[in-house]
Amino acid sequence: IRSAFPSTANIAMTIEWGGIPGNCNDKSFANPAVLGDCGSAPRPGAMEVWDRENQKWVKVAEPNYAPVLSFGGWVGAITNTCKNQDAAYDFLKFMNSPEISMQDVMVGDTGYNVYRYSHIENLQAWIDAGYSEQDAKEYLDAVQADLESPNVLIDLRIPGKPEYVDTVLDLHVNMAIVGLEDPKAALKTVYDEWEKITERLGRDRQKLMYQTMMGME
């Protein structure tokens, strides 16, 4: 879907990574019907929320938005065996500078998405890079709304995360999507496997780590 959405003009809407608008404004890649007319918006909110204390769904007066920052972020590291640590540091500093990072986040295939206010505030730079003004503004507004939401959910950052997500969740969700597992059975398997992982790593410790990750007291 990531490549078909901008290139075929056969897909009306997709929930995807932030690189899609870049591909939709790439003249060498985007379908002419899509070029400059991609559109972006935060994901819809819900009119019901789950009351965990009372174990029931509760209706709310306004849509409840819970944006997901679903990637832990890129990390640059310099090992203690590096023979040119100062040069390595200067390179990382250069790549992460406002000027260079601005170029990276505007290209759909770099894997970098907006993460500085300077990326959001400089609308003209996006237009100069070939984006339509409407596409650029909608995209930057949507990203800013997600980043500044008080209800944002960040990527899981606790011990066992690769097991929870990569080994178990992704596997069985994908099996259900392609029809190799019944959806309810797949989710039951995920639940059972997550319970095993949690018990092995220590439930109380996992709760504490999750609360720390979320900034909860």
pLDDT at position 125: 96
Query: Are 75 and 116 contained in the same domain?
Result: yes
Average pLDDT over residues 68-75: 77
pLDDT at position 159: 96
Within-domain flag for 156: no
> How far is Cα of residue 65 from the mean position of the Cα atoms in its chain?
15
CA distances from residue 110 to 82, 118, 135, 169, 216 in whole angstroms, order as listed:
26, 18, 19, 26, 33
- pLDDT over 90 percentage in the chain: 64
Is the confidence at residue 72, as pLDDT, over 70? no
For the CA atoms of 212, 156, 52, 62, the dihedral, rounded to the nearest 10 degrees, stands at 100
H/E stretch holding 48? strand 46-51
Last residue of a domain, one of 131, 151, 171: 151
Query: Are 100 and 178 contained in the same domain?
Result: no
Domain that holds residue 72: 1-151
Phi, psi of 168 (to 5 degrees): -105, -65
Query: Are 97 and 184 contained in the same domain?
Result: no
Is the confidence at residue 217, as pLDDT, over 80? no
Is the confidence at residue 201, as pLDDT, over 90? yes
If pLDDT is split at 50, 70 and 90, which confidence band does 17 have? Answer: confident
If pLDDT is split at 50, 70 and 90, which confidence band does 133 have? Answer: very high
Q: What is the mean pLDDT of the chain?
A: 92
pLDDT at position 141: 96
Encoded tokens for 148: 């500044």
pLDDT tens digits for 167-185?
Answer: 999 999 999 999 999 999 9
Query: Are 210 and 132 contained in the same domain?
Result: no
If pLDDT is split at 50, 70 and 90, which confidence band does 38 have? Answer: confident
* Burial class of residue 129 in the structure, from the number of CB atoms within 10 Å of its CB (0-12 exposed, 13-18 middle, 19+ buried): middle
Helices (H), the chain: 4-8, 20-24, 85-95, 98-105, 117-121, 123-128, 133-148, 161, 170-177, 183-201, 203-214
Is the confidence at residue 1, as pLDDT, over 80? no
Last residue of a domain, one of 98, 126, 151: 151
